[in-house]
Structure formats: C-alpha cells, structure tokens
Amino acid sequence: MKIGILAAKTGFSIQTIRFYERKSLLAAPERTASNYRSYSEDALKQLLFIKQCRALDMTIEEIKLVLETRANPENSCENVNTTIDKHVDDIEHRIAELKLLQETLISIRSTCDHDKKVKECGVLHQLDSIAEACSSNTDNESQLIC
Amino acid sequence: MKIGILAAKTGFSIQTIRFYERKSLLAAPERTASNYRSYSEDALKQLLFIKQCRALDMTIEEIKLVLETRANPENSCENVNTTIDKHVDDIEHRIAELKLLQETLISIRSTCDHDKKVKECGVLHQLDSIAEACSSNTDNESQLIC
DNA sequence: GCTTGACTCTATACCAAGTATAGAGTTTAC
DNA sequence: GTAAACTCTATACTTGGTATAGAGTCAAGC
C-alpha cells in the first residue's frame, strides 16, 4: 500500500507519516522499484496504535517507549502504566491552571462593558495596575501573578 | 539600566528580552558607547505589562495588538475585549477536551492493576483493540477516538 | 599594567510535533 | 503523447523561547 492510501486510512497526513519514520516511530518500509514507500497491514495497525497514543496526548518519546515495551510480551508493563499515571496527573494540574486563568480573565473582562475608549478601558487599566504593583514590589517570587 | 538588571527586575531571562525586541514587542533601546542596551523605566513597565499578558496566555501577536491599541488613548478598546473573550472561549474548550481525555485515560488505566506482563496488560490491549476497531471501520470522521 | 571574573554583544542552532514548499521523478488515465 | 495525480528528497517555517560559541567590555585586585 502506498503512502497516500495509508494516509487516507489513518487520517495522518503524508508528511506526518514520513516524519514519524524519521523519528523512528514507524519502521522504514520496503520500497518499490521507483523508490515509492510500500506499506504492509502491520504498518497500518502500528499507525493506528500510534494514533490512539497521540489522542491520549503522549509525546513521541513516550510512544516510542510504549512500542518498545509492547514488542516483548514477556516484559513488565509497569512503565506503560507509569506513563499513563503521569499523564493523568499532568492533565489534572493543567486543568487546575486553566480554571484559575479562566477566573482571572473573566474577572478582568468584567471591568469593561463594551466599546469604550482605551483611556476608559477597565481591562487595560487592570493589566496596567497589576504591572505597576509588581514594579514596586521587589519580591517577585511570592506573588501569584507577578 | 542594563539588560541584566532589567531581567532581574522582570523575571524574564536576558535572551527572552532580546527575543521580544526581535519580535517587535519591545522597542529597541538606546545603546551605550560600547553597544550595550540601555533601558528606561518605561521599558520596565512595558515588560511587566507584557508579563501580565503572557500570564493570561496571550500570544505575542495578540500582545502586539493590545499594545498598539493601548498606544492611542482615543482608540476603541473593542479588539482588546475581543481578544480576552476569545481566550475565555478557547480555555473553556480546552478544559472540556482535557476532562474528556482524563476520563479516557482513567478508564484505560483501570484495566491494568499493577506490574503485569505486556501480554496480560489491559492498557495495551485497550489501545490495540481501539486501533483494530478503527482499522475495520472506514468511516473515520464520525468516530470520537479514531 | 595585567589578569581574572562577570557582564554583554551577535549569530546560530535547538526543542516539539508537525506543516509547507520547491523541484524533480513516476504512474495513471484519456 | 500528454496532462493530472502521485511520490520523492531536502529544506524552511511555525511558537515561545532556551542554549551555545566566540568575541568584546568593564571593574576589581595585585
């Protein structure tokens, strides 16, 4: 199967498939006489597996590790689980951060109703006054937003 | 004030300050006779303002827009508000995505207790079987995880 | 006057995870 | 035979910085 078909079947772009090959996430396939890549069904399965991992936001390095672990059925799957656990944790932190940011944004946004001029804009004044406060406070480390 | 002092006062690294100058986020400062950058208090305030914006996850292009808008007090502040609104929206979507991902990860993770072998690992089986299912289903668009 | 260390300068390369392009060759359909 | 569609390699670009090399500058101590 040529790369265009594989791309259509997996939903990856042709460039991304070649990129994964360069990154050793996907083995270099056979070539035709005219140097076109020729993929097996296994390559398709591998790419779909990779797709699941990417959908779970794993990095390429992490996926490489999972693929290596998976290659030997007698291996312990411990580091696969560790990878998943780490992600669950990371995502939890990220959600917390985003929620805080969301609140800050909404709070700032509430200080300007609509279509005012710059000099009257509560949003800009907020941003300025926080900056001012940080400027006069030399102890940057202890502040949330500075 | 030299760049090292400015870096210490703002919490940005020296490289980042020079990077912002290259990106036209910060005006090129005066130079000393020996070609060292020499910053004013205004540059400090500008950087602290930029810091607030970055803390709100604005991109450099967005910050540039806000700075340009801010430069003229008679301007309408509408696009500043639009920028903030867009961010609130983006973050909401991102949080929803992450929550879904979190659930998927936890669900997959629950299929492997601890220190099993690869061939018995529920996590790997899950990843595989989703990939299999996607492989036999040609209608990729309508599926959540494929 | 000389050296040492701390500071700054420019230019360039690197990170992740791809995307986009140019320019060349190949295959397929009519 | 030719045109469209496909593939190839190589390279540059994206974002928001970070890290390095190699050179120049400045202040302090001897």
If you ran DSSP here, which 8-state letter would residue B58 be given? -
A70 contacts on B by Cβ (under 8 Å): 118, 124
Helices (H), A23-121: 41-55, 60-71, 78-109
Is there contact between A2 and strand D, defined as CB under 7 Å from any strand atom?
yes
More confident of the two residues A137 and A104: A104
pLDDT beyond 60 at A144: no
Which one of A37-41, A139-143, B76-80, B119-123 scores highest in mean pLDDT? A37-41
A36 vs A19: CA distance, rounded Å: 16
A87 vs A60: CA distance, rounded Å: 14
If you ran DSSP here, which 8-state letter would residue B30 be given? E
Residue tagged 């772009």 (tokens): A13
With beta carbons less than 8 A apart as the criterion, state whether A66 and A81 touch.
no
pLDDT beyond 70 at A143: no
CA B128 to chain centre: 32
CB contact residues (below 8 A), chain A span 19-38, against chain B: none
What is the tens place of the pLDDT at every residue in A17-62? 999 999 999 999 999 999 999 999 999 999 999 999 999 999 999 9
Q: Any chain B CB within 8 A of the CB of A133?
A: no
Q: Where are the domains of chain B?
A: 3-75, 79-142
For the CA atoms of chain B, what is the radius of gyration? 25
Q: Any chain B CB within 8 A of the CB of A131?
A: yes
B3-75: CATH topology: Multidrug-efflux Transporter Regulator; Chain: A; Domain 2 (1.10.1660)
Residues 6+ apart with CB under 8 A from B100: none
Q: Do B101 and A91 touch (CB under 8 A)?
A: yes
With beta carbons less than 8 A apart as the criterion, state whether B43 and B6 touch.
yes
Average pLDDT (A70-84) is 90
Nearest to B118 among A73, A124, A140 (CB): A73
Is there contact between B121 and strand D, defined as CB under 7 Å from any strand atom?
no
If you ran DSSP here, which 8-state letter would residue A29 be given? P
Nucleotide D30 C1' to residue B28 CA (A): 40
